[in-house]
């Protein structure tokens, strides 16, 4: 039967939806300078990447995650963890690009998000991955007892297609976006369409839906931190129905409890961003979100230099990223070609650069 979640609007859920909306509106109208916004957004991206991969067992610390993403640093014996970080960060960037373009959710987008999650982050858009071709029973790591038995592989394509159609129809019907995103998170994880990467993909899918629905909050929040603070509560909220078998009640379970949990997390995360944004808000400076979406991690980091000075040199980049002089010059040349910066002093030994007009505010 097509996905048609059962739930009730509880007092808690109604209260959370109002808190989410109040925080969303407050942040939307706050003026934040482009440089500060870029810094806050990059912190949120790294935070999301750290917590979402940590949930799946990644052992890199939050500081090390930042070093891997922004400085391409390596940690011996942690190559697999590094790959997960880079793949997730690339998938998150892809989600933001999709959100900027707008439109409806598609099956190819879902598959591409998963492909990026499982990649090393080097390809901007790798080949979409097919769904699992067999059963993927989840067992307790100690007792080996069955924790969850997802639907058969032959049913996965139909179930995912139904989920995508349900999301698009619900958005057209103006179902509150937090409710749509919450159910999409649950259903994707429940279908478990891949042998690996389901949790990370479900959380990214949630982010995409929220962004498409206007709940991006300037890209400053991380629901993953809410889940990671109490993993037991996260997994318990996802575990509903009378049986561990998908076909014995899981597919038609009452999802009120999960939705209460999910929206409580959104409310807490949004209110935290509201407080942070109120502190960081500039005086009468317009938000430049759309332009900032174009910037890569190093460009966003480099904005910190322009907060201190209108002009920078290759030496400034050497110190900021811990790279060689040659690499700094190559990077600056690519930024000039990309339109991010302009050369203002052509002297070879003392060449200086400033932001291009579109990023200067």
Q: What pLDDT is recorded for position 348?
A: 67
Q: How confident is the model over 139-157, as pLDDT tens digits?
A: 876 778 888 899 999 999 9
Architecture of domain 295-359: Orthogonal Bundle (1.10)
CA distances from 177 to 21, 168, 263, 279 (A): 10, 11, 11, 27
Q: How confident is the model over 264-310, as pLDDT tens digits?
A: 999 999 999 988 888 877 544 455 556 666 777 778 778 877 776 78
Q: What pLDDT is recorded for position 303?
A: 81
Q: How confident is the model over 37-83, as pLDDT tens digits?
A: 787 888 899 999 999 999 999 999 999 999 999 888 899 999 999 99
- For β-strands 146-148 and 341-345, DSSP reports them as unpaired
Q: Residue 206 and residue 200: Cα distance in Å, rounded?
A: 10
Q: What pLDDT is recorded for position 226?
A: 92
Half-sphere exposure of 124 (CA within 13 A, CB side): 4
Q: What pLDDT is recorded for position 339?
A: 86
The CATH classification number of 11-280 equals 1.10.3290.10
Q: What pLDDT is recorded for position 284?
A: 44
Q: Between 35 and 127, whose confidence is greater?
A: 127
Q: What pLDDT is recorded for position 361?
A: 61
Q: What pLDDT is recorded for position 221?
A: 87
- Mean pLDDT over each residue of the chain, to the nearest integer: 88
Q: Residue 151 and residue 148: Cα distance in Å, rounded?
A: 10
Sorted by where each begins, the domain ranges of the chain are 11-280, 295-359
Q: What pLDDT is recorded for position 283?
A: 43
Task: Please say if the pLDDT value at position 183 is more than 80.
Answer: yes
Task: Please say if the pLDDT value at position 333 is more than 60.
Answer: yes
Q: What pLDDT is recorded for position 1?
A: 66
Q: Is residue 271 packed enough to be buried (19+ CB in 10 Å), middle (13-18) or exposed (0-12)?
A: middle
Q: Residue 163 and residue 30: Cα distance in Å, rounded?
A: 35
Q: What pLDDT is recorded for position 15?
A: 96
Q: What pLDDT is recorded for position 61?
A: 94
CA distances from 252 to 2, 189, 236, 242 (A): 10, 15, 17, 10
β partners of residue 148: 138
């Amino acid at each position: 039967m097509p996905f048609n979640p059962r739930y009730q609007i509880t007092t808690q859920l109604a209260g959370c939806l109002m808190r989410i909306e109040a925080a969303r509106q407050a942040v939307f109208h706050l003026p934040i300078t482009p440089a500060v916004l870029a810094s806050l957004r990059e912190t949120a991206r790294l935070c999301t990447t750290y917590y979402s991969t940590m949930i799946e067992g990644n052992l890199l610390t939050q500081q090390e995650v930042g070093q891997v993403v922004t400085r391409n640093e390596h940690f011996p014996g942690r190559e697999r963890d590094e790959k997960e970080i880079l793949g997730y960060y690339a998938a998150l960037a892809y989600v933001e690009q999709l959100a900027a373009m707008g439109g409806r959710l598609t099956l190819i987008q879902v598959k591409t998000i998963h492909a990026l999650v499982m990649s090393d982050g080097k390809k901007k858009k790798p080949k979409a991955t097919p769904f699992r071709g067999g059963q993927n029973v989840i067992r307790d790591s100690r007792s080996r007892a069955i924790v969850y038995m997802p639907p058969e592989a032959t049913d996965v394509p139909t179930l995912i297609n139904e989920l995508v159609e349900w999301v698009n129809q619900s958005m057209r019907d103006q179902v509150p976006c937090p409710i749509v995103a919450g159910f999409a998170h649950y259903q994707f994880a429940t279908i478990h369409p891949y042998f690996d990467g389901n949790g990370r993909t479900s959380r990214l899918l949630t982010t995409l839906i929220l962004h498409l629905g206007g709940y991006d909050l300037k890209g400053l929040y991380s629901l993953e931190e809410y889940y990671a603070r109490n993993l037991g509560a996260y997994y318990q909220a996802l575990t509903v129905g009378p049986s561990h078998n998908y076909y014995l009640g899981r597919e038609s379970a009452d999802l009120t409890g999960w939705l209460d949990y999910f929206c409580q997390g959104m409310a807490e995360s949004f209110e935290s961003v509201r407080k942070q944004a109120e502190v960081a808000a500039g005086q009468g400076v317009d938000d430049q979100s759309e332009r900032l979406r174009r910037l890569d991690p190093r460009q966003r980091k480099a904005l910190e230099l322009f907060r201190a000075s209108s002009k920078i040199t290759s030496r400034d980049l050497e110190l900021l990223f811990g790279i060689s002089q040659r690499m700094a010059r190559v990077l600056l040349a690519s930024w000039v070609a990309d339109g991010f910066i302009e050369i203002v002093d052509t002297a070879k030994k003392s060449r200086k650069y400033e932001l291009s007009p579109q990023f200067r505010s």
